[in-house]
Each structure stands twice: as structure tokens, then as C-alpha cells.
Structure 1
Amino acid sequence: MCTTPSHGVPAGLHCAREDILDQLGTRIVRTWLRDTWGVWSCDDHSIVIASGFSAVQEGCVLAQGLEHVWAGDIDCGNQIRSIRQERRADLAAVRKLIAISDLAEVAQWASGIPTAAAELHATERLFEVRINDLRREG
């Protein structure tokens, strides 16, 4: 059972991801990472997350990591395959994180990407992934 406070994330979302990952036997490891936000490690079935993130940042990393778990992604050492896995995980996660109806509502009043992303409990990068997805720009 998740007891992590939401810190601005809608109540069940953060905990639901952690609970789902736990049920799937996936460990969440929080540690210092030099140049990435998170890593899916299929070898030990864990998601490693950079420590010190906000709940929104961590939630986005967990959502993307969960998509790797569900897809059965492996670290293949093949750069093209890895890029495709990352892109697919990003798209699958962001489509669940940001509903089109919510995006349309926020777009009516938000002054820019930072405001819209914050309102939708997403990182700016994933917000831009969602916008590009809707534009079909990839």
C-alpha cells in the first residue's frame, strides 16, 4: 500500500503506479543519477529514479517506466531499438497522463507550456510529447 504524499498530484495516481509496479514485482530504487531521470533495468526488474524529484517529476518517470514493464522491454544494446522503446513508452505514458479533454480545457487559459504542464501534473517535456503526438509530429 502506498503511503507517499501526493504533493500536488491527484490523490490516487502516484500511489496507483507504485502499487501496480509492486504487484508486477518491479522494485523502485531512488538514488543519485548523473545524467538521466530514470532507468528501466530488466535484469533486476527495477526502475531506478533520480532522487530529489518533485512528485510530478517522479510520477512521470514511474508512468514511463511502467510502460516499459508492460511492454516487456529489454536493454538490448541496439541504439535504434532503444530509441523506439523510449518513444513508445513516452507516448503510451503521456496518452494516459494527459487526456485530450483536459488538455483542451487548460489550453483555453494557460499562458504557456510551464503553466499548462503544471496544471496537468506533467513535466514540460512530456507535455510537449503529448502536443507533438496530437500534431502527429512525433
Structure 2
Amino acid sequence: MSITPLLLTASLGLHYAPDAILEQLGIPVVRTWLRDTWGAWSRDHRKIVIASGLSPVQERCVLAHELEHFYAEDDDCNGYIGTVRQERRADLEAARKLVAISDLAEVAQWTSDLHTAAAELRVTERLLEVRLNDLRGEGWPWRRPGGSKIVG
């Protein structure tokens, strides 16, 4: 099954539902006790395993992260550097889908508290921080050329 139609029709931000996308893709989600992680994508078994007992917000974020591993066709890395890169990329892509700029701008109008903002955006504080750090980088259309590390 091609994932392109799912990507094109998927809602982002508060309406992003990684569990629904996984269901459409036919990827089972197995909930079990996990000792040192909240979730894992198994390419060989084509399933996602997540820790039982997560809050709905934690589960949403973990599923979004693991879905990014699926999209990237990640598998177990042989080296630490590869693993770190895969995890950072999965966090970044998940955060971009979970936290739409429009939703972030709306919440920023009435709170400056990270905990409150994360709760309102239905993400973990850590993933909100990933998104905020992403937005500090390049890519804003109104960013001044003089402020770019690439341009000058």
C-alpha cells in the first residue's frame, strides 16, 4: 500500500492522528511492559510495540515518532551515530506533524508556560521543545538574510 495518499490527506497539528494512519496502513500496535523505552518499530515484524500505561498524550507522541521510523524504513542500526541520527530525525518529523505552526501561534497568545502549552497542544513537553528548537532554525519566510549562518 502506498503511503502517499495518507500523507497528502493527513491532518497536522491537533488533528494529527498517528493511530488512525497506522490502522490504515495495517500496522499493528502492541502494548506491553517495556523496561527502558516507550516504544519501538520492528521492521522485521512490521509492528510497533509501545509501553503499556502511557497517557493518551504520551501514546500519541510515541506513535507519531515510531510512524516516522516506518516512513524512513529504519531498522536496527549497527552504530551509535546512525541510531542517534534516526532518533533525532524521527523526533523532528513527528514534532513537525504534531505541532502545527498555526496551533502553536494560537496557544502562544495566551500562555508562555511550556507545561500548559504542551498540554493544550496534546504533546509531551520534550516534543514541544523539539518543535520549538526546529523553529529557531532556517526556513522562516520573514527571516532576515543577515541572520542566516549560510548567507552571511
Normalising by structure 2, what TM-score?
0.75
CA distance in 2, matches of 1:82, 1:97: 22
**1:90–1:20 distance in 2 versus 1, CA, 3 Å:** same
Contact 2:16 2:98 in 1 (8 A): no
CA distance in 1, matches of 2:126, 2:92: 12
Which AA in structure 2 matches 1:105?
E
Contact 2:16 2:97 in 1 (8 A): no
After superposition, give the CA deviation of every residue in 1:68-109 in whole Å (9 maximum; x if it has no partner).
111111112221111111111111111111011211121122
Which AA in structure 1 matches 2:82?
R
Matched, 1:35 2:36: yes
Give the paired residue count.
125
TM alignment of 1:109-120, pairs within 5 A: 109-120=110-121
CA distance in 2, matches of 1:76, 1:26: 21
Aligned to 1:79: 80
Unaligned runs of 5+ in 1: 1-9
Contact 2:43 2:75 in 1 (8 A): yes
SS at match of 2:41: strand
| RMSD of equivalent CA atoms | 1.8
Contact 1:29 1:48 in 2 (8 A): yes
CA distance in 2, matches of 1:81, 1:100: 29
**1:119–1:19 distance in 2 versus 1, CA, 3 Å:** closer
Aligned to 2:136: 135
CA distance in 2, matches of 1:111, 1:76: 38
Aligned to 1:7: none
How far residue 111 of structure 1 moved from its aligned partner, in angstroms, is 4.2
CA distance in 2, matches of 1:128, 1:20: 24
Matched, 1:53 2:54: yes
User: Share of identical aligned residues, percent?
Assistant: 66
TM alignment of 1:56-67, pairs within 5 A: 56-67=57-68
CA distance in 2, matches of 1:19, 1:104: 26
CA distance in 2, matches of 1:108, 1:18: 29
Normalising by structure 1, what TM-score?
0.82
- Higher-Rg member (1/2): 2
After superposition, give the CA deviation of every residue in 1:41-71 in whole Å (9 maximum; x if it has no partner).
1121111111111111101100111111111
Contact 1:25 1:45 in 2 (8 A): no
